[in-house]
Amino acid sequence: MLNAVVIFLMVSGFMLFFATTVGLLRFPDFYTRVHAAGKGDTLSTALLLAGLIIYYLQDFSGEALLTAVKLSLIVFFVFLASPTATHAIIDAGYEAKVPYWTKRKPSADGEPYPGPERRREDRQI
Amino acid sequence: MTAFFWALAIFLLLNAFLCLWRAWAGPSVGDRLLAMNVIGTKTLVVLVILGVVAGGGLFLDVALIYGLLNFVITVAAGRFLETGRLSQEEGRWGGAP
């Protein structure tokens, strides 16, 4: 019975990671790729590791409990670290003026699409 | 369940290899950095699955350290991409540039 829960959790985590891969390969520009990767990566890792935690806790013992606690610490760390890393990447790309995708035609003079004009000093936070 | 875990690990590795294409062909440095971050996180998961299948508790510690290194590398490379330097001296976060 619990094996079904484990398989459901892990397969849904794998589907989320597959969606992350498709978004990473198919989205048109940097910011949309960050959108796909930042969310799907975190949640798919959490779902896969949650399935493993339940699988470990099936036969309850001290060692299994220790392993489950360790896995929970990994999940907690990933939930803290992965959005922070994503935020660092997208801030670096914004500051490096990575051009964004628009549906407008490319302008005639050189630059295909204008990058974001504002920088950190001009932002209203 | 062991066969299921093996199949899941193999499919995760296949998807990670697909992500490697974005790291190879990404137009900007941020794309490459993002793809490497995703691949590193999935390597963490594959390490944990290998620890379950092979039955070694050592894999979990390795996975935890791998995630930590992945986070530090991503933040440091993002900072280097953003500011062009890694130290904070005469930086933009405080004193005069």
A116 assigned to some structural domain: no
Q: Do A7 and B34 touch (CB under 8 A)?
A: no
Taking 60 as the threshold, does the pLDDT of residue A62 lie above it?
yes
B42 pLDDT higher than 60: yes
Tell me if chain B has a CB within 8 Å of the CB of A65: no
Q: How far apart are CA B1 and CA A60, in angstroms?
A: 17
Amino acid identity of residue A70, one-letter, is K
CB of A45 closer than 8 Å to CB of A82: yes
Q: Are B19 and A24 in contact (CB under 8 A)?
A: yes
Choose, out of B45, B64, B70, B81, the residue to mutate when testing the contact with A (most A CBs < 10 Å).
B45
* Cα distance between residue B8 and residue B95, in whole Å: 51
Nearest Cα of chain B lies from the Cα of A34 at a distance, in angstroms, of 7
pLDDT for res A105 = 55
Per the structure, the complete domain to which residue A28 belongs is given by 2-101
pLDDT per position as a tens digit, B49-66 = 998 888 777 888 899 999
Do B30 and A93 lie within an 8 Å CB cutoff?
yes
Please calculate the CA angle B22-B24-B30 and round it to the nearest 5 degrees: 65
Give the Cα separation of B15 and A37 in Å (integer).
13
| pLDDT exceeds 90 at position B14 | yes
B36 phi, psi to nearest 5 deg = -70, -35
CB A21 within 8 A of CB A58: no
How many contacts (CB atoms, under 8 Å) link A and B? 130
Whether A8 has a pLDDT exceeding 70, the answer reads yes
Determine the pLDDT at residue A28. Answer: 86
What is the number of structural domains in chain A? Answer: 1
Question: What is the distance between the alpha carbons of residues A33 and B34, in angstroms, rounded to a whole number?
Answer: 8
Whether chain B has a CB inside 8 Å of the CB on A57: the answer is: no
Domain annotation covers residue A106? no
ipTM for this prediction: 0.82
Instruction: State which H helix or E strand residue B11 sits in.
Output: helix B2-25
- Look at B34 and A34 and tell me if their CB atoms are within 8 Å: yes
The alpha-carbon gap from A18 to the nearest alpha carbon of chain B, in Å, equals 7
Cβ-Cβ contacts under 8 Å, B31 against chain A: 30, 33
Residue A24 lies in a domain: yes
Cα separation of A1 and A110, whole Å?
62
